Amino acid sequence: GTCAGAILLAQEISEGRHEGQPHLGLMDITVRRNAFGRQLDSFEAPVAVSGIPGLPLNAVFIRAPVIERVGPAVVVLGRLADGRIVAAQQGRLLATVFHPELTGDDRMHRFFLAL
């Protein structure tokens, strides 16, 4: 799941969840919606992702959530320089809080397809 998809996959949504808002709850993670601010606070940052060789990905964050907690079966794949979790995997499920589809780099998609 990408961005809002990560929210849908999360077992817990710590802030910003509306009563009755559907989510799948398939990954043992907690996410916080709009963790980086509003649309004007959108940004790009390099993110090294475990399992993806080469230079860090240029990650695009648009009103992005953040992964605040991961369970024991979840592998953290990527963090920002300040340590915040931005990519995680649980089995064949993948959550990113950034938008890999908005760049010309297809490595994140290839990683997902290889799961």
The CATH number of whichever domain residue 48 belongs to comes to: 3.40.50.880
Average pLDDT over all residues of the chain: 94
**Is the pLDDT confidence value at 89 over 70?**
yes
Domain count for the chain, please give it.
1
What's the domain range around 67?
Answer: 4-113
44 is catalytic: no
68 is catalytic: no
As a whole number, mean pLDDT of residues 26-31 equals: 98
99 is catalytic: yes
Q: Hey, is 37 helix, strand or coil?
A: coil
**Is the pLDDT confidence value at 21 over 80?**
no
Q: What is the pTM of this model?
A: 0.92
Give the C-alpha distances (Å, rounded to integers) separating 67 from 15, 91, 106, 110: 12, 17, 22, 22
Q: Which of 15, 44, 99, 109 is catalytic?
A: 99
Beta-bridge partner residues of 10:
27
